Amino acid sequence: MCQLTGYTGAMRSDTSPWLDDRQQRVWRQWLQSNARLTAALARQLSQDSGTSLADFEVLVHLSESPEGRVRIVQLADTLQWERSRLSHHLTRMEKRGLVERQGCTEDGRGAYAVLTDEGRVLIEQVAPGHARTVRDLFFGELTDDELAALDRFTAGLLARLDQR
């Protein structure tokens, strides 16, 4: 995804922008595994319950909050979504009866997203299958050392991304 034929050999050096062969392979594996893992999880959710990964994230965050209620700003912050995206998404989920909106008495501008009973039933039905899929596909039979190494890598990657 990142290397043009012909430049490979000629331009490789410490100061060139290119990736070496091993980096190349790892990078493409990362892209591939990501795409396919996401697709597998989405398929599993969709088949089991007709929900998308986005729906699932919203439902989980609501269900983890007291009374299944979260201020919409805070939800957008946590999910790292744009407000308008969340607003559109809540509208769609509201139509399906999974969430509701409530006005906010403390701040006249604000609003809460609230999990409905139907939404809570759904998330409790769906979560175990999702967790199992993640465990089987993502973690597999990793050893403790391998898990620790992965932990260090993702933590380091996040730190690098934070620096920007």
Give, in order, the Cα–Cα distances in Å from 22 to each of 13, 26, 28, 29, 62. Answer: 14, 6, 10, 11, 42
Instruction: Give phi and psi for 39, each to the nearest 5.
Output: -60, -40
What residues from 32 to 61 belong to the interface with DNA (CB under 7 A)? Answer: 52, 54
Closest approach of a second copy to the CB of residue 110, in Å: 23
Q: Which is nearer to DNA, 19 or 57 (by Cβ)?
A: 57
CA-closest candidate to residue 59, choices 30, 160, 12, 50? 50
CA-closest candidate to residue 64, choices 110, 106, 127, 109? 127
Residue 8 tokens, joined: 């490979």
Q: Which is nearer to DNA, 53 or 137 (by Cβ)?
A: 53
Q: Which is nearer to a second copy, 110 or 127 (by Cβ)?
A: 127
Decide: helix, strand or coil at residue 14.
coil
8 binds, among a second copy, DNA, none (CB under 5 to 8 A by kind): none
List 49, 87, 116, 133, residue binding DNA (CB under 7 A)? 87
CA-closest candidate to residue 126, choices 67, 65, 40, 41? 41
The answer to the question of residue 125 lying near a second copy (CB under 8 A) is: no
Contact set with a second copy (CB under 8 A): 1-5, 7, 17-19, 22-23, 25-27, 29-30, 32-37, 40, 56-57, 60, 63-64, 80, 123-124, 127-132, 134-140, 142, 146-147, 149-158, 160-161, 164
